[in-house]
Amino acid sequence: MGAFEAVILTIITASTPLLLAAIGELVTERAGVLNLGVEGMMIMGAVCGFAAAYTTGSPIFGVGAGLLGGVGMSLLFAFLTQTLMTSQVATGLALTLLGLGLSGLIGEAFTGLPGVKLGPIDIPFLIDLPFVGSILFGQDILVYFSFALVAIVTYMLFRTRTGLIINAVGGNHHSAHALGYDVVKVRYACIAFGGACSGLAGAYLSLVYTPQWIENMSSGRGWIALALVAFSSWLPRRVLVGAYLFGTVWIMGLYVQALGVAIPAQLLSSLPYLVTITALIMMSGDKTLTKVNTPACIGQPFAPER
Amino acid sequence: MKIILEKRIEHSRVMALLSPLLAIAITVVIGGIIFASLGLDPAEALYVYFVEPVTTLWSIEELIVKAAPLVLIGAGLAICYSANVWNIGAEGQLTIGALFGSAIPVYFTTWQSPLTLVVMLVLGGFGGALFAAIPAALKNRFGANEILTSLMLVYVAQLLLDWLVRGPWRDPQGYNFPQSVPFEGWQQLPLLGEGRVHIGAIFAVMAVIVLAIMMGRSLRGFEIRVVGNSPRAGAFAGFHQKRVVWFTFMLSGALAGLAGICEVAGPSGELQPSISPGYGFTAIIVAFLGRLNPIGVLFAGFLLAISYLGGEAAQVELGISDKTAQVFQGMLLFFILACDTMILYRIKIASGRSASAKA
Amino acid sequence: MKKLLGLTAVALAMVLVTGVPHAAEKMKVGFIYVGPIGDHGWSYQHDQGRLAIEKELGDQVETVFVEKVSEGPDAERVIERLARQGAGLIFTTSFGFMNPTLKVAKRFPKVKFEHATGFKRAPNVATYNARFYEGRYIIGQAAAKISKSGVAGYIASFPIPEVVMGINAFILGAQTVNPGFKLKVIWVNSWFDPGKEADAAKVLIGQGVDVITQHTDSTAPLQIASEKGVHAFGQATDMIKFAPKAQVTSIVNNWAPYYVARTKAVLDGIWKSEDTWGGLSAGTVQMAPYTNVAADIAKAAKETEAKIRSGALHPFTGPLQKQDGTEFLAAGKVIDDGTLAGMNFYVKGVDGKLPQ
């Protein structure tokens, strides 16, 4: 394997959990809901995924359990924000806090155990292609799925009736309601979708990235995913670009160190965050694009009586 | 069956007072169930958690030490959130405040006068405000989401601190270990009493009083509340949302920065790579638990401090994992949020059919 | 108040049932850890030491611990809590607890304190550390024998003397086999960040490194090494179950003998404040079984280990030059502990600049 392929493979691993979580949150936000609990859903996905895979010995079960863990947390959020109409910002923060604590408690029995790794699915013959073989055709199922998800979500949001409804609910919930759509139900569904994606991202961490359970192993990735959604101006293909941009900057910080370049490690570690902020500014600056795609109702509770 | 919320015409004053108490009660009950399921005597566990921390003078003093930064930061954040401005990065502002203030003992090691401390404190507040001005400016100028920018800046601030303490600001006599020169004399906060309580506690109480008066009595407070409730209504009244963003960010940043310098010039007495056990983040809970009211923040700060100290006591005396404390705090916040619904709405539970008929 | 009465009643009842309460006679030994005991690294090994005390002296002492104590103002409170709970001996197991330990020690002159890796002592505060560099010399030698590329990857935490002397010992060991041996160092700026450590391992392997070592605590680099089919060395604990095909050996922190000895010393009333730096000979540093390598490599490693243990070999024996070629240790001399404890330079043969 060449040095170039090795770097690309490392970047793919670093970017996939961000991409998965961000694309889910994008759908949630398109429906007008801001769920700041991505970190909490992700970490629950990680612990549930690990626990199930370890107990059953099957990483696929782990993926399923991770997904369900994320959905469970997201439904808690949905119940509070949609049914009880609590503040979305506060509830999202609470979800993160609860997720970090709860996952630690559940995971106590699983610390210090080697996990079951979700292995790559090598596509025969194609994987032997020079240069791109292992990059394009030697990945695990979640990597392939993350790319498929970008395509599916793009198609769904802009080409289908479902997408139309989601955008309508996020754009103006009163008109959507007047048109006869059940705003709350649509939002419940979109929140659950976001939870599922965050759960998958968490499962990716505990089954592929580092196949073991470690407290707080999401280490802030949920927040990065949230930033990526804003950075993307709510466009799925831009989430893809953003996730891979972040992953590249992250890995390059380590890469140049190994080459012997003397830059303080702290500066390299802070680069991804600085790049994210810069990207946020650049994207926010593009007024027309932002205006077209920003869900106008984001963060606002919907009460049909009003 | 379906839950229906009926909007109250006026906020329920009874529920406003009752909801935090109700939330605490539910948390205690659920906590008791959790302890029982762990095979512990729930009464004893809850006693260790919530009552023991206030039974000795030492632990009360320690409560004050722990609560002071939470209250100081939480009060500022409460104002911010009332204005619908989401400063999530108080931890970073705390860090930069600590750095600004610490520059004095690091660069003017021998300067000893009451003025030293004053300059340190002022610089601390200034540093925090300056760092908070970044997300404020980005929001006002570019419309960049302040939740995300302020949060990203936390990482940047912490890495800057890390670099300084391990590099240029390292104590020359410290065997290359990551810590600054020790702060001495007027570089440290005066203590109140025998224990570790320092004048930061007074700052916290003063901040609460001043902010409570500002929110309740002044035009500025009115402006913040109006803009927070509805930016459009605020604009009609001649209030500028941008001005409110600037003001609330800089205010909360300054208080967080002050809390930061108080921590390093108080209990720590030096700069270290980690100067705060997440006070800036915990203060977010404190602000909500205090119902975005400065006086409420004072109580909430103490409640959270109790849960931390109780968590430690439970580890030592009962062998309960520290994650339990974290779950407790998460639950408490959830129940507070859920109970708050009752201030604005009347909850009715109806059968599915009548609900759909109504919708 | 009612609660208090209730508790008193329970306590009284217990006394009546069991006669004299044993608990009152037992000395309490307190521990504070910087990480979770589930880190399977630094704090985990200290907790193993605590359990050894329980096992050996369980009839005379009881132990308590608080985990995940942050190295700021919280530490002082937690240490004081342990002292107030009546602990007779308290181990504070991270460098950042140094000043809080000294502050509390001043207020509790009768309580004995033991601070790991620090350099400040008091009449009732002792310090202790381990000579991990001895193990690093051995693995450096083994790495040079294993590596075909002549380059090892080194995942490092922070550029403090402890880590710098480890890098130096590693390259000195490697140079005894291959004088031109090279190191690629990545600073991950953390003691424990599995994701980043895994990324660093992948980047290093991608750059042609065929053996990996780490001065960070997670098992992630070993998992990656195992996946990519290169050799690696564990840290702090025997990590073999995370990389049964990749781990060559591991430098194990074994605090048990020291902890038991110090607890006994307090019980016997002969405890003194001193600075203890135990290595292979004291059993504080142990090498996990040598696996996954040819018999001759394992044999050579065992021989080096025996020589260090007996004192016949010291990894830092002159002549030694700094990176820039200036001599800092004359021929035949052995380095003194003071120079080691403050080591802030690379020896000759390490490329790259030490972050300052």
DSSP state letters, chain A: --HHHHHHHHHHHHHHHHHHHHHHHHHHHHTT---TTHHHHHHHHHHHHHHHHHHHS-HHHHHHHHHHHHHHHHHHHHIIIIIS---HHHHHHHHHHHHHHHHHHHHGGGBT---------PPTTGGGSTTTHHHHHS--HHHHHHHHHHHHHHHHHHHSHHHHHHHHHHH-HHHHHHTT--HHHHHHHHHHHHHHHHHHHHHHIIIIIS-SB-TTTTTTHHHHHHHHHHHTTT-HHHHHHHHHHHHHHHHHHHHHHHTT----HHHHHHHHHHHHHHHHHHHHH-HHHHHHHS-TTTT----TT-
CB contact under 8 A, A226 and B7: no
Give C1's pLDDT tier (boundaries 50, 70, 90): very low
Query: How many other CB atoms are there within 10 angstroms of residue A300's CB atom?
Result: 14
What is the C-alpha to C-alpha distance for residues B3 and A83, in angstroms, rounded to an integer? 7
Sign of CA dihedral B124, B126, B128, B131: negative
Angle of CA points B81, B293, A306, to nearest 5° = 60
Span C250-258, mean pLDDT? Answer: 95
Residue A306 pLDDT > 50:
no
Q: Is residue C28 predicted with pLDDT exceeding 60?
A: yes
Q: Classify residue C233 by its DSSP letter.
A: E
- Terminal Cα-to-Cα distance of chain A (whole angstroms): 62
Contacts of B282 in chain C (CB under 8 A): none
CA distances from B113 to A176, B118, B184, B354 (A): 66, 9, 11, 74
Q: Do A277 and B149 touch (CB under 8 A)?
A: yes
Within 10 angstroms of residue A93's Cβ, the number of other Cβ atoms is 25
- Which chain C residues touch A214 with a CB distance below 8 Å? 38-39, 194, 218
CATH 3.40.50.2300, chain C: domain bounds:
24-130, 133-253+286-341
Mean pLDDT of chain A: 88
pLDDT of residue B143: 83
Count other Cβ atoms within 10 Å, centred on residue B233: 11
Q: Is B61 helix (H, G, I), strand (E, B) or coil?
A: helix
CB nearest to B269's CB, from C74, C96, C99: C99
Mode of pairing for the β-strands spanning C231-236 and C247-253? parallel
Q: Is C319 exposed, middle or buried (0-12, 13-18, 19+ CB in 10 A)?
A: exposed
Residue C51 has pLDDT above 90, yes or no: yes
Kindly give, in sequence order, each residue whose CB lies less than 8 Å from that of residue C61, ignoring residues fewer than 6 positions away: C26, C27, C28, C29, C53, C54, C263, C267
CB contact C223 to A (< 8 Å): yes
Q: Phi/psi at C126 (nearest 5 deg)?
A: -105, 160
Strands C151-156 and C112-116: unpaired
C38 touches chain B (CB under 8 A): no
Closest CA to B297 of B204, B228, B199, B223: B204
Record the tokens describing residue C314, joined without a space: 């010291």
Q: List the single best residue of C71, C82, C107 to mutate versus B (max B Cβ within 10 A).
A: C71
- State the nearest Cα–Cα gap between B89 and chain A, in angstroms: 12
- Which pLDDT belongs to residue B359? 36
C213 at the A interface (CB within 8 A)?
A: no
Distance from CA of C6 to the nearest CA of B (A): 10
Give the angle C349-C353-C356 at the CA atoms, nearest 5°: 130
Who among B142, B285, B337 is closest to A80 (CB)? B337
In single-letter form, the type of residue at position C216 comes to T
pLDDT of amino acid A269: 85
A213 vs chain C: nearest CA distance in angstroms? 10
CA torsion sign, C240 to C242 to C244 to C247? negative
Mean pLDDT of A233-257: 91
Backbone angles phi and psi of C315, in degrees to 5: -55, -35
Domains with residue ranges and CATH for chain A: 3-119+138-293 (1.10.3470)
Q: What is the spatial distance between Cα A14 and Cα A224, in angstroms, rounded to a whole number?
A: 12
Nearest CB to C3; choose among B47, B159, B270: B47
Tens digit of each residue's pLDDT, chain B (359 residues): 566 777 777 777 777 778 878 888 888 898 888 888 888 888 888 888 888 888 888 999 999 999 999 999 999 999 999 998 999 999 999 999 999 999 999 999 899 999 999 999 999 999 999 999 999 999 998 888 888 899 889 999 999 999 999 888 988 887 778 889 999 889 999 988 888 899 999 999 999 999 999 998 888 888 888 888 777 777 777 788 899 999 999 999 999 999 999 999 998 889 988 888 889 988 988 998 888 999 999 999 998 899 888 888 888 888 777 777 778 778 888 888 888 877 777 777 765 544 443 33
Any idea what the Cα angle at residue C192 is, between residues C112 and B179, rounded to 5°?
Answer: 55
Residues in contact with B37: Cβ distance below 8 Å, sequence separation at least 6, in sequence order: none
User: CB–CB of C185/C352 below 8 Å?
Assistant: yes
Cα distance between residue A120 and residue C144, in whole Å: 32
pLDDT band with cut points at 50, 70 and 90 for residue C16: very low
- For residue B342 the two structure tokens come to 């009752």
For the domain bounded by C133-253+286-341, which CATH number is listed? Answer: 3.40.50.2300
Backbone angles phi, psi at C32, to 5 degrees: -125, 135
Burial (CB count <10 Å: 0-12, 13-18, 19+), residue A124? exposed
Q: Region C98-102: what's the mean pLDDT?
A: 93
Q: Which residue of C has its CA nearest to B305?
A: C74
B3 three-state secondary structure: strand
Quote the pLDDT of residue A133.
Answer: 67
- Option in A14, A104, A217 nearest C194 (CB): A217
In this predicted model, what pLDDT tens digit does every residue of A138-196 receive, in sequence order? 788 999 999 999 999 999 999 999 999 999 999 888 889 988 899 999 999 999 999 99
State how far the Cα of A197 lies from the Cα of C333, in Å rounded to an integer. 61
Spatial distance between the Cα atoms of C142 and A185, rounded to a whole number of angstroms:
63
**CB C105, CB C43: distance < 8 Å:** no
Q: Helices A88-107 & A59-78, crossing angle to 10 degrees? A: 140
Give the tens place of pLDDT for each residue, A245-255.
999 999 998 99
CA pair distance C251, C272, nearest whole angstrom: 28
Instruction: Report the C-alpha gap between B128 and A89 in whole angstroms.
Output: 23
- Condensed to tens digits (0 to 9), the pLDDT of residues A202-217 reads 999 999 999 999 888 9
| Residue in A73, A85, A97 to test binding to B, most B beta-carbons within 10 Å | A97
Work out whether the CA dihedral B10, B11, B12, B13 comes out positive or negative.
negative
Closest by CA to B144, choosing from B134, B156, B132, B131, is B134
Give the CB-side neighbour count of residue A138, counting CA atoms within 13 A. Answer: 17
Give the pLDDT score at C21: 40
Contact A105 B321 (CB under 8 A): yes
ipTM: 0.89
- Mean pLDDT for C258-274 is 95
C108 touches chain B (CB under 8 A): no
- What is the reported pLDDT for B357? 39
CB contact under 8 A, B149 and A304: no
Say if residues C219 and C236 touch (Cβ distance below 8 Å): no
C84 vs B58: CB contact, 8 Å cut-off? yes
Please indicate whether, in this complex, the C-beta atoms of B58 and C85 are within 8 angstroms of each other.
no
Question: Given its phi and psi angles, is residue C68 left (phi above 0), alpha (psi -120 to 50 degrees) or beta?
Answer: left
Residue with tokens 């926010």, as numbered in its chain: A284
CA distances, B303 to each of A187, B31, B46, B288 (Å): 34, 15, 14, 12
Rounded Cα distance between C241 and C227, Å, is: 13
* Single-letter amino acid code for the residue at B297: V
Q: What are the contacts of B117-121 at 24+ separation with CB within 8 A?
A: B117/B186, B117/B187, B117/B188, B117/B189, B117/B265, B120/B187, B120/B261, B120/B265, B121/B258, B121/B261, B121/B262, B121/B265
Instruction: For domain C24-130, give its CATH number from 3.20.20.140, 2.60.40.10, 3.90.226.10, 3.40.50.2300.
Output: 3.40.50.2300
Q: What DSSP designation does C334 have?
A: B
Asked if C218 and A214 come within 8 Å (Cβ–Cβ), the reply is yes
**Is C345 part of the contact surface with chain B (CB cutoff 8 Å)?**
no
- Could you read off the pLDDT of C318-344 as tens digits, one per residue? 899 999 899 999 998 999 988 898 888
Name the interface residues of A facing C (CB cutoff 8 Å): 1, 3, 6-7, 9-10, 13-14, 104, 107-108, 111-112, 114, 117, 205, 209-212, 214-215, 217, 219, 250-251, 254-255, 257-260, 262, 264-266, 269
B175 and chain C: CB distance < 8 Å anywhere? yes
Residues A67, A69, A73: CA angle, nearest 5 degrees = 120
Quote the CA–CA distance of B314 and B207 in Å, as a whole number: 32
Q: Which residues of C touch B315 (CB under 8 A)?
A: 65-67
What φ, ψ does residue B322 adopt, rounded to 5°? -70, -15
Alpha carbon distances (Å) from A98 to B30, B124, B285: 14, 32, 12
| Mean residue pLDDT across chain C | 89
Name residue C287's beta-bridge partners: C251
Q: Which of A237-241, A261-265, C29-33 has the lowest mean pLDDT?
A: A261-265
Q: What is the mean pLDDT of residues C239-247?
A: 93
Helices (H), chain C: 2-18, 42-57, 73-84, 98-107, 132-146, 161-175, 194-206, 220-228, 256-268, 295-310, 337-341
Q: From CA A295, how far away is CA A183, in angstroms rounded?
A: 14
How confident is the model over C183-240, as pLDDT tens digits?
A: 999 999 888 889 999 999 999 999 999 999 999 988 999 999 999 999 999 999 999 9
Residues of A in contact with C200 (CB under 8 A): 254, 258
Min Cα distance B96 → chain C (Å) is 16
pLDDT of residue B15: 74
Report the distance separating Cα A18 and Cα A242, nearest Å: 9
